[in-house]
Structure 1
Amino acid sequence: MAAFPLRPQAAESKGRAAQADSGFYAALDLGTNNCRLLVGTPSPQGFRVVDSFSRIVRLGEGLTATGRLSQPAMDRAMSALSACADKLGRRPLRGFAAVATEACRRAANGSEFLARVNRETGISPRVICAREEAQLALASCSPLLQPHDRRAILFDIGGGSTEIAWVRLNGGAPELAGTISIPVGVVTLAEREGDSCFTREGFEAVRDEVAEKLAAFDAVHCIGQEIRQGGVRLIGTSGTVTTLAGTVMDLPRYRRQWVDGVCLDAAEADEALETLFRMGRQGLAAHPCVGPDRADFVLPGCAVYAAIRQLWPVSRLTVADRGLREGMLMRLIQGDRGRAPRRPWC
């Protein structure tokens, strides 16, 4: 078993050290499509990244059809998690958190797989609910909110699900007013639809399906009415929106620092979506902000975005290349500083 100085399950019980603004903190997000790790140290702005890791593992491949994680998918994830354990072993950690999301929530053998992860790597991811996903995403994206914002729609188009958070500000700290999670993500759609999303009819069918799933949430929170009153910010955190941003900006290669926090005119994002749609699979594989590993997932994600855009026509889109890892790091650091409790929200 790989070992590192602070085991994951000890992170929340470890007492505060004398120097709360020093040392290393790490956060790991095991999702349906990706395994991601972030290591940082506290800074006046929140934290400074000192190491990171991201690998497409497709843990949820075949899950919709079988209800179980497949052996090849688990082996790919184990390889990535072993690489993460090696990175974690290089530094003494003051705090560490690891979470697993939709694939492990849904799979009949999810807990069995996570037990194997703990045995072989020493990492013990905690399965979190959709509401906590939204809370962590909000924690990471809240610096992108502006004083004049009254409300915000925060969406995360994941591999196995899409999370929407409706956020109330009212001049104070962001408050989660409501959340919804729909079991539609880029991996599940790519498997279910095959080549369909590469056709206009199939793309629009997925868009309309997602819009229908979100309609009741819109009605409960009167989001359309709030948008008409103004002061509503739309924030997207996912590979879909960062790809749209890279396309709008015509980047020669993708770099997080060029994209994170950029605010796009929604009409420009619509044009970028059309550009990506016309490329087809081969063109997407050659796109500098997509590549062959993600070519199958871009248009399903764009169909979900198109539904959000259709239902909530906000004129600007704020793009966030940040998510659960950043939210977990902020939680760990603020917990040591005594500003926030280290506990799940669900």
Structure 2
Amino acid sequence: MKKIGIIDIGSNSIRLIIVQINKDNSFRVIDEIKESVRLGKDMTPEVGLNPSRIDNAIYTLAFFKKLCVMQNTNGILAVATEAVRRAPNQMEFLNRVKSELSIDIRVLTGTEEAYYDYFGAINSMDFSDALIVDIGGSSSELIFVENRKLKHSISLPFGAINLTEKFSLQKAMNNKSENAIKEFLTSLYKDIPWLKEVKNVPIIGIGGTIRNIGKLHKKKTNYPIDNLHNYRIPTNEVIDIYDQIKGKDASQRKKLKGLSKERSDIFVGATSVLVTLIEYLDLKELHVSGSGLRDGYLYEYIFKNKKPLIDVLDFSIKNNLLNYEIDIVHPNHVWMLTKTLYNELNPIINIPINPYKILKTACMLHDIGIIISYFDHNKHSSYMIANSKINGLTHKEQLMASYIAALDRKNEFKINLKLYQHLITEQDLDIVDKLSILLRISENLDRCLNGNIKMVSCNIELDTVTITVDAVADPLLEITAALDCASSFEKTFNKKLIII
């Protein structure tokens, strides 16, 4: 096991994450902190980075290094982006950090920054085609992804800070300033030839501005889930948020719930980048990504290559299991049995969605609650599934998986439909009920945790379903346990359950 610190020296904020990486390459974030230093503010063409802001940055980096030392990290990986990238006094800053703190900073090119944004998003979200946008303090990266591959990218030398300064957007925006910034942005977008290829794809947003838009939207809609990663917003509602805020000055924005006070003065300029892009390309949905440059850098460090994951969900599930020190053999076997039951009983299950990801998540993670307590561990597992970062799922899929796990032992868990009415319908609960019975049967068929039941097959008749087991040794115990589900099975599927 080792720990590393990853520092992202941005034009607005400096961020640190400390990550524990295990021998099996599973990992977890154990600390995170950020400071708003605004290296990109008060820059001049002649000098570059403002001396007082350099001092603040070094003070912040010294504190971050102390945190890393106190947590016994094995090393620090530090990267810097646009403000440092274009500063005439770049070497002065880098040399001071090296001499005073013994930290080597890698200054990323715009192409490298865009790549790490892509690598962070593609390994933590399940999408094929998208336009990724990262709105930073002094630059904005646009990345076009097609068939999960980075097809085009560009780093544009404007962001929240320099746009705010250029168009005086600390004040309330008026028609003149809005038209000026939109004309400026649109002219730049028109000069990107490949951008015209981007049609009918989601826009995936990275960075503090995007997260703030997500928080504002969640407040407005009373969204019941805290997790911002993969939160989805119709773009017309993004434009509504922009329209409501653009007429307020920085002091008025500070009073808005969900909007970071330290970002309130630069929020309108940054949001203009997103809204103008949405309108230029007529994109319909924004997906908030909680993963970006630092995550992409971390994935490359762990994978030791630039190949994106083939199955984001599978990697994320296994990462959780390994971190919770759960033996993967039993959940793998339960998933195999459950998947087989689903495929064979599909004619009578009759649900309108492909539940593969939901069912796999519930099967693989149904026992993680044992690390809290064996007693009522299905309820603990449900909470942990609902509140963990499980990449590759929508919020609805994650919630449904947590409900299936909650019903793993017996059909007593009460689902708060009122709380989650925006996400879960009565039809969804019917799907949960059907899939949970399959999980309960499979869990009981591996009651001894030894894979005694190698395989199952099903025969559907008018009034009965017969499950035939192929066992290594006498399967009486497993069959008896599985038949505890017979009454629930008959109630749900209107057929008597027989297991032989």
TM range (shorter): 0.7 to 0.9
- Aligned position for 2:344: none
Distance 1:214 1:64 in 2: 26
Given the alignment of the two structures, is residue 239 of structure 1 paired with residue 208 of structure 2, yes or no? Answer: yes
Contact 1:99 1:125 in 2 (8 A): yes
Deviation at 1:259, TM superposition (A): 1.5
Cα distance, 1:37 vs structure 2:
0.6
Q: How many angstroms does 1:66 deviate by?
A: 4.3
Encode CA deviations 1:87-120: one digit per residue, 9 max, x unaligned. 1112343554211111111111111111101111
Alpha-carbon distance in 2 for matches of 1:95, 1:223: 42
CA distance in structure 2 between the partners assigned to 1:77 and 1:108 by the alignment: 17
**Match for residue 57 of structure 1?**
37
- Structure 1 unaligned residues grouped into runs of 5+: 1-21, 342-346
Q: Deviations over 1:34-84 (max 9, x none)?
A: 101111124799631101110000112221554411111101111110111
From 1, 24, 32, give the equivalent of 2:11: 32
Match of 1:303 in 2: 272
- Contact 2:141 2:156 survives alignment (8 Å): yes
Q: 2:180 aligns with which of 181, 198, 205?
A: 205
Partner SS, residue 191 of structure 2: helix
Q: Is the 8 A contact 1:47 1:330 kept in 2?
A: no
Query: How far does the alpha carbon of each residue in 1:183-213 deviate from its partner, in whole angstroms, 9 at most, with x for none?
Result: 1111111222224662232123112211211
SS in 2 for 1:206: helix
Matched, 1:152 2:121: no
User: What residue in structure 2 maps to residue 177 of structure 1?
Assistant: 151
Contact kept, 8 Å, 2:114 with 2:155, in 1: the verdict is no
Contact persistence 2:189–2:195 (CA under 8 A): no
> 1:252 and 1:309, CA in 2 relative to 1: closer, same or farther beyond 3 A?
closer
Partners of 1:332 and 1:96 in 2: CA distance: 12
Residue 246 of structure 2 is matched in structure 1 by: 277
SS of equivalent to 1:165? strand
When normalised by structure 2's length, the TM-score is: 0.57
Q: Work out the CA distance in 1 between the residues paired with 2:104 and 2:290.
A: 25
Task: Give, in whole Å, the separation in 2 of the partners of 1:48 and 1:80.
Answer: 24
Aligned counterpart in structure 1 of residue 191 of structure 2, from 216, 222, 232:
216
- Cα drift, residue 257 of structure 1: 5.0
Superposed displacement of residue 239, structure 1:
1.7
Any idea what SS the aligned residue of 1:32 has?
coil
Quick check: 2:219–2:257 contact (8 Å CA) kept in 1? no
How far off is 1:145 after superposition? Answer: 4.0
Distance of 1:267 and 1:45 partners within structure 2 = 41
Residue 328, structure 1, aligned to residue 297, structure 2: yes
Q: What is the aligned counterpart of 1:167 among 125, 145, 167?
A: 145
Higher relative contact order (CA 8 A, sep 6+): 1
Instruction: Report sequence identity in percent.
Output: 24
Is residue 86 of structure 1 aligned with residue 55 of structure 2? no
CA distance 1:340–1:194, change in 2 (3 Å): closer
Runs of 4+ in 1 over 4 A off after TM superposition: 43-46, 64-67
Structure 2 gaps of 5+ residues are 308-500
Cα pair 1:39 1:52 within 8 Å, conserved: yes
Contact 2:186 2:276 in 1 (8 A): yes
Q: Which amino acid aligns with 1:158?
A: G
Q: Rg: which structure is higher?
A: 2
Aligned length: 305
| 1:188 paired to 2:162 | yes
Change (3 A) 1:103 1:89: same
Q: Give 3-state SS (helix, strand or coil) of 1:278's partner.
A: coil
Instruction: Indicate the residue corresponding to 2:217 in structure 1.
Output: 248
Instruction: Decide whether the 8 Å contact of 2:214 with 2:288 is kept in 1.
Output: yes
Q: Is the 8 A contact 2:76 2:103 kept in 1?
A: no
SS of residue matched to 1:296: coil
Q: State the Cα deviation string for residues 128-185 of structure 1 (Å, max 9, x = none).
A: 10111111111111145435x3x2111111111111111121xxxx221111111111
Q: Deviations over 1:7-31 (max 9, x none)?
A: xxxxxxxxxxxxxxx3212211101
1:267 aligned residue (225, 232, 236): 236
Shift of 1:252: 11
- The equivalent position to 2:284 in structure 1, one of 288, 304, 315, is 315
Which secondary structure does the structure 2 equivalent of 1:89 belong to? Answer: helix
1:260 to partner: Cα distance: 1.9
Matched position secondary structure for 1:322: coil
1:71 to 51, 56, 64: 51
Cα distance in structure 2, aligned partners of 1:259 and 1:66? 40
Q: Give me the whole-angstrom Cα distance separating, in 2, the residues matched to 1:99 and 1:332.
A: 13
